[in-house]
Amino acid sequence: MSQPQEENKSENGPTTQSYEFRQPPPPNPQLYDRQISTVLATTLTPEQVVIYEEFPEILTKSKEDLEDLLSNDVCFDSFFESIERIRHTLAVRDEMRVGNETSAKETLSQENELNQLRQHVQEQENALIKLNSTIQEKLKLQQNALQRFSPSVLLTKLKSGVQQSDELSEQMASSFLSGELETDQFIKHFREIRKVFHLRNAKVEIVKNKPGILDDSIREELRKLGHGSVTFDPKYSRGIGLLTLQNPERHNALSGKMMAELSDIVDKLENIVKFDTNGNLNNVNIVNELDKENNLIGIIVTGSRNTFCSGLDLSVAKDHILTPENGKKMSLLMQDTLFRFGQLPLISVAAVEGHALGGGAELVTACDFRCISETSKIRFVQVKMSVIPGWGGGKRLIDIVGGVNALKIMGTSDPITAQNGLELGFVDVIAPHGECVNRAREFLNRYVYFSERDERKGGNGNDDNINENKKINSVKAVRGLKLLISRTKNSEEYKNFLLYEHELFGSLWGQKENVDAVLKTRK
């Protein structure tokens, strides 16, 4: 008779490994031979044959014995359990039961430890979430703190320190001259103050010449060049300001004076929003010079006399901005101005009547949206001037229409019109001639007013019959949205791209081909 395999028991009794299923020993050959199976097969049903084949021990019983077994459960169980195969199976079953009990006890004994571990993991996770939120808050505070120490802010503070020292020494001199101050006191303090003035002034000169920090000197130099003006009406419509290029005799070409005035307006609009020390969008306590009602959320940019802008004023360029150095200064100022314009928390729409050429086309790309008339023409003519865009319009055009379309538009100087502008994704609204500013206002009203009409009737929102008591959108929320979007255009990579465009422009402007082109255009 085959013995059950030797159990590989552990010192704690049978392990679950010892329960690999083992086949029970084969039927006992002595109890069963071929003749019996033939007899059985002729007298029994197939089911009965199976029983006899599985348990041939039954064959050793007489009919009376079998009747006894069937009538007496105790005898039946004892006979059944005396069968080798059954004994073996019962033994395996008992071993497995013992093993299961042991495993169950082992598992239960670890339940407390498991619950403690689970609780510890939960506590760690909560602590991690808390730490993460603290880190986010600290990062926001750090960002706002760093913003206060940006190069341009430090330069401005340094300059105001120079001015304060200068004013203080002036006051001291007049006090001395009026006899209010003793000579030795005056000499002692005046010398100290002038020393601080000169130290601060020297630092301003060092910082000013550091690349990438645009100081006012370029703006002030260009301010002296040419005519025209740039005006801003902060109350053009509720929550919407109107910025207008005014140089109609030259199709609103941008002179140096106008570039400086455009930059001034951007300066004034920049502090329309401030973050409080907790990094919250806090503009309730700021009285902005241009937005006294503190409700501006949109700005329309347009040109006077039904034309937009024919780019750089070539009369000014011919006389003052033909050298590479001056071309770079002009490019730096306009890139800086249009970059900061794009960062304003205001939704901007270019209302383009007539022509937008060269730098005028670049100005159009600096707006978030574009409304053009059925007859407008927007042309990047820079390549005809033997240069590339110098006001940041190349990068912005690529972002709006994609690289391939941008290459076609800038390489061929083909006009963007009402016909192809929508398809290019460059134009958002097409207006009848002379109606661009009105349609731009209607477009922006959807951001100014809470358009229940859109909610109710699926209107297109271009509803000019907005009445003043209509519910208005949260100014801070809409400004917050624009801050979010413009953040995507404020990365180091984005700024480096603009710098690259500026450098490429600077390598072309003022070269013979470019000078000839400018002089040819302006006889």
Ligand X SMILES: CC[C@H](C(=O)O)C(=O)SCCNC(=O)CCNC(=O)[C@H](O)C(C)(C)COP(=O)(O)OP(=O)(O)OC[C@H]1O[C@@H](n2cnc3c(N)ncnc32)[C@H](O)[C@@H]1OP(=O)(O)O
337 binds ligand X (CB under 6 A): no
Which stretch in 98-106, 258-266, 354-362, 426-434 sits in contact with ligand X by CB under 6 A?
354-362
Contacts for 477 with CB less than 8 Å, ≥ 6 apart: none
CB of 252 closer than 8 Å to CB of 230: no
Torsion of CA 203, 207, 210, 212, to 10 degrees: 180
Point out which residues pair with 10 in neighbouring strands.
Answer: 13
Kindly tell me which residue out of 56, 99, 228, 359 binds ligand X, with binding defined by CB under 6 A: 359
Report how far apart, in Å, the C-alpha atoms of 393 and of each of 176, 335, 494 are: 56, 9, 13
Give, for 323, the enclosing helix (H) or strand (E).
none
By the rule CB under 6 A, 298 interacts with ligand X: no
Nearest distance, CB of residue 387 and ligand X, angstroms: 5
Number of residues that bind ligand X (CB under 6 A): 20
Q: Is 222 a residue that touches ligand X (CB under 6 A)?
A: no
State the nearest-atom distance from the C-beta of 384 to ligand X, in Å: 7
Closest contact distance (angstroms) between CB of 500 and ligand X is 16
Number of Cα atoms under 13 Å in the Cβ half of residue 308:
33
Q: Residue 297, SS3?
A: coil
326 near ligand X, judged by CB under 6 A:
no
Residue in 328, 355, 439, 446 binding ligand X, rule: CB under 6 A: 355
Task: By CB under 6 A, tell whether 400 contacts ligand X.
Answer: no
H/E stretch holding 236: strand 229-237
For ligand X, give the closer residue by CB, 272 or 363: 363
Residue closer to ligand X, measured from CB, 261 or 313: 313
Q: Which residues are CB-contacts of 328 (< 8 A; sequence separation ≥ 6)?
A: 502, 505, 506, 509
Residue 498 makes contact with ligand X by CB under 6 A: no
Nearer to ligand X, 69 or 332 (CB): 332
Residue placing its CB nearer to ligand X in the complex, 83 or 253: 253
Cα separations in angstroms, 348 against 10, 251, 364, 476: 80, 22, 10, 16
Selected from 181, 269, 385, 478, the binder of ligand X by CB under 6 A is 385
For residue 258, state whether it binds ligand X (rule: CB under 6 A).
Answer: no
In whole angstroms, the minimum distance from the beta carbon of 276 to ligand X comes to 40
Q: Which two three-digit tokens encode residue 307? A: 């034309």
Q: What is the Rg, in whole angstroms, of the alpha carbon atoms belonging to the chain?
A: 45
* Residue number, 245 or 387, with CB nearest to ligand X: 387
244 sits in which H/E element: strand 240-246
Contact 390, 326 (CB under 8 A): no
Residue 392 sits in the site that holds ligand X (CB under 6 A): no
Give min distance, CB of 382 to ligand X, in A. 4
Q: Does 321 participate in binding ligand X (rule CB under 6 A)?
A: no
Kindly state the smallest distance separating residue 400's Cβ from ligand X, in Å. Answer: 18
Q: Is 313 in the site for ligand X (CB under 6 A)?
A: yes
Write out the residues near ligand X by the rule CB under 6 A: 250-251, 253, 310-315, 355, 357-359, 381-382, 385, 387, 390-391, 521
